[in-house]
Amino acid sequence: MKHLLILSLLFCTFQAKADTIDFCQVYYNNIKILDINFFRSNELVLKLDSIQSSDSISIRYFRDTPCFDCPTKLIIENEKHLPFFSIENVGTSSPFTFSVQQLVELREKGYEHHFEVFYTEGIPVSRTGRQFVLRIKLE
């Protein structure tokens, strides 16, 4: 009986951990286009001939224990981890918005066709403290 009680407590503990999933929402011109749950690689493919100069991407990061006054940052870099630009905000679910034209201009300068997006909270001490959000591909 004692073993059954211990096993059921362990099962409940594992079950509770499954409910703590971080996720993101990605918006293109204020229209939600992606829900990201980090269980698979996420990629956003944009066709160059359909991009307008006013187009924007917004990303909102959510987690079960949000902070409301911590510094947050979204970093856009190439596949070799060279950062192109970053956006700073305050609070976990605060939106990060940037112009798609920034990516187009980088591509026209001869940089990669792929851009990787990372999220971080607080002051990261290493690259491992960041969360990969998605890869943006320009075609």
Q: Strand pairing of 131-138 and 43-46?
A: parallel
Q: For residue 1, what pLDDT is reported?
A: 52
pTM above 0.85, yes or no: no
**Strand blocks (E) in the chain:** 23-28, 31-36, 43-46, 56-62, 71-77, 83-90, 96-99, 114-121, 131-138
Contact 135, 42 (CB under 8 A): yes
Containing 108, the helix (H) or strand (E) segment is helix 100-108
Contact 133, 36 (CB under 8 A): yes
Amino acid at 42: N
Amino acid at 97: T
Q: For residue 62, what pLDDT is reported?
A: 93
Per-residue pLDDT tens, the chain, 139 aa: give them.
Answer: 555 444 444 444 444 444 568 899 999 999 999 999 878 779 999 999 999 999 999 999 998 888 899 999 999 998 888 899 999 999 999 999 999 999 999 999 887 789 999 999 887 666 777 899 999 999 9
Distance separating the N- and C-terminal Cα atoms of the chain: 62
Reading the block at residue 65, the tokens are 């224990």
Contact 96, 87 (CB under 8 A): yes
Name the nearest CA neighbour of 24 among 90, 92, 98.
92
